[in-house]
C-alpha cells in the first residue's frame, strides 16, 4: 500500500483512525467466549462494525501468541479477512521486532508474506540492518519506535546524546533512521501521551506518517496530537484499542465498538476540515 | 532455574555452551525435510546428540514464526522435549521482545507459562516497565540486549550519553537496568564480535551471566570472550547455532553437530580449568 493510497483513504473516510485489535481471550463477551475460533469471530464482528470508520487495523501480536498456535491461526484468519473484504485498509502487525539481519528477514517473511500484513512495528536499538529487511519489501512499511506511551519511556528515550547542544536519544533515532528509507516505506511510533514532543519529531520528519498509540485508556489527547503532529496530508494514524473493542462486554459489543469509533471519526473529521484536508 | 543450578551444570559438564536452535525449514537434511514435523524431528536429533555437551538451548523464535502456526507447534514440542528429557538444561527464547507492560505481561505468559521457557531475550528501549513483567516470574530470567553482534550495532549502541565523561548508550543501559532485577533473574546479551567491550560490561555487571552470540559464523573469538568476560563462577553462556546445527546437511547431521559441539566443549573445558572453576 502506498502513501497516496493511505491519504486517499483518510480523505474518503474523513478519518485517520487505527483500530487496535488487541483481542484478549479472557475479555471476550459471553456470547462468543468458549467458541473454537472465538478470537477470530470477535475480530470479524469488530471489523465489520468499524471498517467504514477507520483506515487501519493493528493487532498486537502478543495477544495472539499468548494462546500459542491457535492464536497464530486466528491472527492469520483475521488478516486474510481484512485483506479480502476491506483490501484498502492498512494492516499493521504490532510486533516491535528487532533482530540481526538474517533473522529480521525471517520476521519480514513471516509478517509480510505468510501473514500478509502491510506494515510492522520495529525496535531501533540494533540499528539499520535490523530494519532493512523489512524495507526491502515493495509496498510494505516499517514503523520504527521513536517515543513510546509507557510510563518508563523516559529511562532511555530521553537520554541526552552528547553534542552541541545535546539532544535526546529519540531525536537521534529519528534523525538517523530517516536515511534508512523514505516517506513511502517508513513511519514512526510516537505515544500520544508525549504530544509536546511530537513537535520535535515533526521537525525532523515533516512528511512521514506517525502512528500514535495511547489515545484514550492511556490518557493521550487527540486534540494535542493533532495540534503538534498533523501535516498537510494529515500524516497521522491514531490508534485506539481497548476504548473501542471493549466498549461493551455484552451481546451488543460490536455496536458499542462502532459507536466509540464513530465518536473518534467525527472528532477526526472536524480536525481534517479545520486543516483543509477535507471539505464540506 | 537458579543461578546456582546453572553454575552446577557448567561445572558438571565442563561447558558453558548454548546451542542455538535456529532451525530453518529450507536448510534441513533430505532425510528429514518434507516430514510433517520436520523441524521438531531435526531439533530432537540435535538435542539428543548434544545434550551432554551444553548447558542451554536457545531457539530464535523468528525461525518458528516464519512458518506460522505449524512452526509454533513445533517450537512448543521442542521446549517440552527438552524440559522432559533434559530438565537441568536452560531453555532460552530468543525473542527480543519489548512492549508496554500489559502487553509484556502477555509475552511473559506466552513464553514462560505456555511454552515453558526458562529465559527470554528482551529489548531495552522502552525501559523498565517493558521488562518488569518478565522479572515477576519466580525462577525465570530476562536477558537484556546490551551489545548486539550485527554490523550496524554501533549506530545507536555506541552513541555517547552526555556526562563527565560521556559514556556509550550500552553502558548506560547496563548500569540502569541492573537495578531492575538481580544476578539471579537477569542476564545481558553481549555480541562475541565486541569482545573488547566485554571488559566494560564486566565492570558494570561483575556477577551477572552474559549470553554471548556471534562466536563462529559471525566471527567472534571464544578466547577473547573468555579473556574479557569470564568471572569466578564462569558467568558466560556462549551460543553457537549455524556452526553446530548445520555442520553437515547429510544423513549424519546429528553426529556432525555433536562433533562441532564437542570441539567447543573441549575448548571451554580448557578455559574452565585455567580459571580454576573445574579441576582435573
- In this complex, is the C-beta atom of B113 within 8 Å of any C-beta atom belonging to chain A? no
Give chain B positions within 8 Å (CB) of A58: none
Q: List, for residues A214-259, the tens digit of each pLDDT value.
A: 887 777 799 999 999 999 999 999 999 999 999 999 999 999 999 9
Pair A176, A153: CB distance under 8 Å: no
Q: How far apart are CA B272 and CA A117, in angstroms?
A: 48
Residue A72 sits at the chain B interface (C-beta within 8 Å) = yes
State residue B193's pLDDT score: 84
Q: Which residue of B has its CA nearest to A109?
A: B66
- Rounded alpha-carbon distances, angstroms, from residue A162 to A167, B124, B155, B159: 7, 20, 14, 8
Q: Which range, of A88-102, A207-221, B28-42, B73-87, averages the lowest pLDDT?
A: A207-221
Does residue B196 lie in a domain region?
Answer: no
Helix (H, G, I), strand (E, B) or coil at B278: coil
Give the pLDDT confidence score for residue A202 in this predicted structure: 97
Q: Using CB atoms, pick whichever of B24, B130, B155 lies closest to residue A127.
A: B155
Assess contact for B20 and B60: CB atoms under 8 A: yes
Q: CA-to-CA distance for A126 and A111, rounded, in angstroms? A: 19
What angle, rounded to 10 degrees, do the helices at A195-204 and A169-177 form?
30
pLDDT-derived band at A147 (thresholds 50, 70, 90) equals: very high
Confirm whether B264 is domain-assigned: yes
What local confidence, expressed as pLDDT, does residue A280 receive?
Answer: 78
Looking up residue B81, the CATH number of its domain turns out to be: 3.20.20.70
Please indicate, yes or no, if residue B162 is contained in any of the structural domains: yes
Residues of B in contact with A124 (CB under 8 A): 125, 156
| Residues from chain B contacting residue A123 (CB–CB below 8 Å) | 96, 98, 123, 125
User: Given an 8 Å threshold on Cβ–Cβ distance, is B114 in contact with A22?
Assistant: no
At residue A134, the pLDDT reads 98
- Count of C-beta atoms within a 10 Å radius of residue B250: 10
Which residues 6+ apart lie within 8 Å of A145 measured at CB? A96, A121, A122, A123, A124, A188, A189, B125, B126
Instruction: Quote the pLDDT of residue A220.
Output: 78
Q: What is the pLDDT of residues A157-205, one digit of tens each?
A: 999 999 989 999 999 999 999 999 999 999 999 998 887 799 999 999 9
CB A174 within 8 A of CB A128: no
The residues, ordered by sequence, that sit 6+ positions from B109 with a Cβ below 8 Å of its Cβ are A66
Please state the domain count of chain B: 1
Residue B197 in domain: no
Residue-wise pLDDT tens digits, B98-154: 999 999 999 999 999 999 999 999 999 999 999 999 999 999 999 999 999 899 999
Shortest Cα distance, chain B CAs vs residue A123, angstroms: 8
A71: nearest CA partner in chain B? B69
Q: What is the reported pLDDT for A109?
A: 94
Catalytically annotated residue among A58, A96, A140, A227: A96
> Can you tell me whether residue B126 is helix, strand or coil?
coil
**What integer best gives the mean pLDDT of chain A?**
95
State the best of A95, A155, A170 to mutate against chain B, taking most chain B CBs within 10 Å: A155
Does the CB of B114 have a partner CB in chain A at under 8 Å? Answer: yes
Closest residue of chain B to A113, computed from CA coordinates: B66
Q: Give which of A59, A61, A120, A57 is closest to A85, Cα–Cα.
A: A57
DSSP string over A118-187: SEEEE--TT-GGGTHHHHTSTT-EEEEEEE-SSGGGHHHHTPEESSSS-EEHHHHHHHHHGGGS-TTTEE
Positions of B annotated as catalytic residues are: 96
CB B160 to CB A160 under 8 A?
Answer: no
Question: What confidence tens digit (pLDDT) does each residue in A3-30 have?
Answer: 999 999 999 999 999 999 999 999 999 9
Share of chain B above pLDDT 90, in %: 93
pLDDT tier for residue B192 given thresholds of 50, 70 and 90: confident
Q: pLDDT tens, B242-274?
A: 999 999 999 999 999 999 999 999 999 999 999
pLDDT in tens, A16-69: 999 999 999 999 999 999 899 999 999 999 999 999 999 999 999 999 999 989
Judge whether residue A261 has pLDDT over 90: yes
CA separation for the pair B54, B90 (Å, rounded): 9
Instruction: Tell me if B99 and A100 make a contact (CB, 8 A cut-off).
Output: no
Would you say A38 and A28 are in contact if contact means Cβ atoms under 8 Å apart? Answer: yes
Q: What is the pLDDT of residue A206?
A: 98
Q: How far apart are the first and last CA of chain B?
A: 27
Give the integer Cα–Cα distance in Å for A62 and B110.
Answer: 8
List the single residue in A with minimal CA-CA distance to B172: A156
Any domain includes B199: no
| Residue B107 forms contact with A (CB below 8 Å) | yes
A124 close contact with B: CB closer than 8 A = yes
A–B: how many Cβ contacts below 8 A? Answer: 179
Chain A residues touching B110 at Cβ < 8 A: 62, 65-68
Whether the CB of B219 is below 8 Å from some CB of chain A: the reply is no
CB–CB contact A72 B69 (8 Å): yes
**B159 has a chain A CB within 8 A of its CB:** yes
CB contact under 8 A, A172 and B154: no
Instruction: Give yes or no for A129 touching B (CB within 8 A).
Output: yes
Interatomic CA distance for residues B253 and B49, integer angstroms: 10
Q: What is the ipTM of this complex?
A: 0.95
- Provide the chain A residues 184-203 that lie in CB contact (below 8 A) with chain B: none
Chain A residues near residue B157 by CB distance under 8 angstroms: 125-127
Count helices and strands in chain B by DSSP H and E runs: 12, 10
CA distance A11 to A141: 20
Is residue B279 in some structural domain? no
- Is the pLDDT reported for residue B232 higher than 90? yes
Q: How confident is the model at residue A104, as a pLDDT?
A: 96
Q: Which residue has the higher pLDDT, B10 or B216?
A: B10
Give the per-residue pLDDT at B110: 94
What's the order of all strands across the beta sheet hosting A160-161? A167-168, A160-161, B160-161, B167-168
Shortest CA gap A243–chain B (Å): 15
Residue B218 scores a pLDDT above 80: no
Helix axes of A69-85 and A38-50: crossing angle, nearest 10 degrees: 30
Average pLDDT, chain B: 95
Could B62 and A99 be called an inter-chain contact, meaning their C-beta atoms sit closer than 8 Å?
Answer: yes
Whether residue B79 is contained in a domain is answered as: yes
Q: In the predicted model, is pLDDT for residue A103 greater than 90? A: yes
C-alpha separations of A12 from A20, A143, A202, A278, B155 in Å: 21, 24, 24, 9, 40
Between chains, do A66 and B125 touch, taking CB under 8 Å as contact? no
Residue B25 in contact with partner chain A when CB distance is under 8 A: no
Q: Is residue B69 part of a domain?
A: yes
Q: What is the DSSP letter of B215?
A: B
Domain containing B107 equals: 3-191+205-274
Confidence of residue B215 (pLDDT cuts 50, 70, 90): confident
A138–chain B Cβ distance below 8 A for any pair? no
Amino acid at each position: 500500500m502506498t502513501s497516496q493510497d493511505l491519504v486517499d483513504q483518510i480523505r474518503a473516510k474523513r478519518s485517520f483512525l487505527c483500530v487496535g485489535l488487541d483481542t484478549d481471550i479472557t475479555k471476550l463477551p459471553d456470547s462468543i467466549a468458549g467458541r473454537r475460533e472465538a478470537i477470530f469471530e470477535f475480530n470479524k464482528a469488530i471489523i465489520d462494525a468499524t471498517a467504514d470508520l477507520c483506515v487501519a487495523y493493528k493487532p498486537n501480536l502478543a495477544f495472539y501468541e499468548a494462546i500459542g498456535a491457535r492464536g497464530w491461526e486466528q491472527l492469520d484468519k483475521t488478516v486474510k479477512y481484512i485483506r479480502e473484504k476491506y483490501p484498502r485498509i492498512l494492516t499493521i502487525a504490532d510486533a516491535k521486532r528487532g533482530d540481526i539481519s538474517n533473522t529480521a528477514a525471517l520476521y519480514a517473511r513471516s509478517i509480510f508474506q505468510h501473514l500478509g500484513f502491510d506494515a510492522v512495528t520495529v525496535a531501533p536499538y540494533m540499528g539499520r540492518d535490523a530494519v532493512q529487511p523489512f524495507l526491502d519489501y515493495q509496498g510494505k512499511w516499517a514503523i520504527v519506535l521513536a517515543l513510546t506511551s509507557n510510563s518508563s519511556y523516559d529511562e532511555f528515550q530521553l537520554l541526552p546524546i552528547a553534542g552541541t547542544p545535546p539532544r535526546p536519544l529519540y531525536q537521534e533515532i529519528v534523525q538517523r533512521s530517516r536515511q534508512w528509507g523514505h516517506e513511502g516505506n517508513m513511519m514512526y511510533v510516537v505515544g500520544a501521551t508525549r504530544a509536546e514532543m511530537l513537535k520535535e519529531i515533526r521537525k525532523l520528519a515533516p512528511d512521514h506518517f506517525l502512528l500514535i498509540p495511547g489515545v484514550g485508556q492511556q490518557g493521550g489527547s487527540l486534540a494535542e496530537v493533532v495540534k503538534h503532529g498533523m501535516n498537510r496530508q494529515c500524516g497521522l494514524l491514531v490508534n485506539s484499542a481497548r476504548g473501542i473493542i471493549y466498549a461493551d462486554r455484552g451481546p451488543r459489543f460490536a455496536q458499542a465498538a462502532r459507536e466509540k469509533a464513530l465518536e473518534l471519526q467525527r472528532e477526526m473529521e472536524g480536525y481534517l476540515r479545520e486543516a483543509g484536508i477535507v471539505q464540506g
